Amino acid sequence: MCDTSTPLVFAGDSMPVFRALSKVAKQALLAPACGCQPLTVAIRNISFSPRQVTSGSDASFHSVSFSETDHPKVLITGGLGQLGVGLAKLLRYAHCSIYTVYKSINLLHCRCIYKCNVLHKNVFYIIKLYLLTHRKRFGKNNVILSDIRKPPSNVFHSGPFIYSDILDYKNLREIVVNNRITWLVHYSALLSAVGEANVALARAVNITGLHNILDIAAEHGLRLFVPSTIGAFGPTSPRNPTPDLCVQRPRTIYGVSKVHAELMGEYYHHRYGLDFRCLRYPGIISADSQPGGGTTDYAVQIFHDAVKTGKFECNLKPDTRLPMMYIDDCLRATLEVMEAPAESLSMRTYNINAMSFTPEELAKEVQKQLPDLQVTYEIDSVRQAIADSWPMNFDDSNARNDWCWKHDYDLPELVQTMLNFIGSDSRIAQAN
């Protein structure tokens, strides 16, 4: 439970995560040379608003709350992609966004942010661990990640992981039955660009795989989340803005499979009472997980290249406008729609949005922090054609009205956050 009235208490050496830090890091945290607040003071000053920390007890945002015994048992398919590991973390622990903590302790405004990033990285790390170890949501063992790939060791050791191929119906059923799964988050998919490169596989995974998922979910009374995408719209859809209900004639196998998923899920809901919930995500931007082969991938790559080489070659034209979202907003939206009471959902498939920008606008914002960044354009014709058929702006007013969806990150916060993460990672790598 996340108690908003009690301040966090930092117990120095008695905190195991603190003990694990090196002597130098400890010293930096307790008496930062840059003049920042020592961590002891900073942590005591953190205050949480209900919006910043969402937990099962947070009645103003989620009317469904789960006690120790009736919390959901969650299976995430395709969990090793860009989004799954982050979602597992969010569902296992009621941690608040580390950016929120960072903002709360005012370090973002610290003028020495780039000079003493190693210190700040340690601040991130220790607060994150503190929150992870102290604030439980559904619990580590109640959220199972699955995929057909081998998990990296940090993921493998962070909670349950199971091999699951969504094309194997019997294997899926066995996992659901043996683990008494109640929520299924279906992330397995081939994204837009890789889907065009392998249509047969995309059709199998995105369409046949979805049929298995729908049948299992209906058979076992699961609550099912399937993400859709801006890619579920096409050149004949209104593009600026694109509402929830309009013409959907996508021109990619990815888009066709996602419209199919939306319609099948809604059909199963009406026909069999399946508790199907679906959000159309914009392009998702994250620092610590790589995108899986989509059209919006450039908006992640630019940050890595900007920090590592100071040069970025963009594969979309400078004026290609697409809806985008920072990963924390995307994962929180997913949790919020999963927890929303059924009666608040006037529909089962919602657009969600945060911001909308072009490569040129993104580059300009990054250049405010890294003025030496050089951007060139080498257009990938497949990706460009896809992007030109997608929404430029997303109308998500239904999500905002029905279950109070609200994004936290606009473009400046997104850029600042991405550069802080990637910048501090690379500085630490250089220092080691």
Ligand X SMILES: CC(=O)[C@H](N)C(=O)O
Ligand Y SMILES: NC(=O)C1=CN([C@@H]2O[C@H](COP(=O)(O)OP(=O)(O)OC[C@H]3O[C@@H](n4cnc5c(N)ncnc54)[C@H](O)[C@@H]3O)[C@@H](O)[C@H]2O)C=CC1
**Binding positions for ligand X, 312-351, rule CB under 6 A:** none
Which option in ligand Y, ligand X, none does residue 329 bind, with CB closer than 5 to 8 A by kind?
Answer: none
Using CB under 6 A as the binding rule, whether residue 229 contacts ligand X is answered as: yes
CA–CA distance, 147 with 209 (Å, rounded to integer): 13
Write down the least CB distance from residue 27 to ligand X, Å.
Answer: 43
**Binding positions for ligand Y, 122-151, rule CB under 6 A:** 147-149
Q: Which amino acid is at 346?
A: S
Report how far apart, in Å, the C-alpha atoms of 25 and of each of 38, 113, 232 are: 12, 16, 48
Q: And the tokens for 164? A: 């699951």
Query: What is the DSSP code string of 219-263?
Result: HTT-EEE--EEGGG--TTS--SSB-SSS----SSHHHHHHHHHHH
Residues 227, 281 contacting (CB under 8 angstroms): yes
DSSP H or E run through 364? helix 359-369
Of 12-20, 225-233, 408-416, 417-425, the segment contacting ligand X by CB under 6 A is 225-233
Q: With helix as H, strand as E and coil as C, how does 268-323 read?
A: HHHHHCCEEEEEEECEEECCCCCCCCCCCCHHHHHHHHHHHCCEEEECCCCCCCEE
Which option in ligand Y, ligand X, none does residue 189 bind, with CB closer than 5 to 8 A by kind?
Answer: ligand Y
**Binding positions for ligand X, 157-196, rule CB under 6 A:** 191-192
Binding mask 244-263 for ligand X (x = CB under 6 A): ----------x---------
Which option in ligand Y, ligand X, none does residue 172 bind, with CB closer than 5 to 8 A by kind?
Answer: none
Q: Check if 93 is active-site.
A: no
CB atoms < 10 A from the CB of 270, how many? 10
Residue, CB closest to ligand X:
294
Kindly tell me which residue out of 93, 281, 303, 357 binds ligand Y, with binding defined by CB under 6 A.
Answer: 281
Using CB under 6 A as the binding rule, whether residue 165 contacts ligand Y is answered as: yes
Using CB under 6 A as the binding rule, whether residue 296 contacts ligand Y is answered as: yes
Using CB under 6 A as the binding rule, whether residue 234 contacts ligand X is answered as: no
List of residues 6+ apart from 197 with CB closer than 8 A: 293
Active-site amino acid positions:
254
By the criterion CB under 6 A, which residues form the site for ligand X? 191-192, 229-231, 254, 283, 294-296
By the criterion CB under 6 A, which residues form the site for ligand Y? 77-78, 80-84, 147-149, 164-167, 187-189, 191, 205, 209, 227, 229, 281, 283-284, 291-292, 294, 296
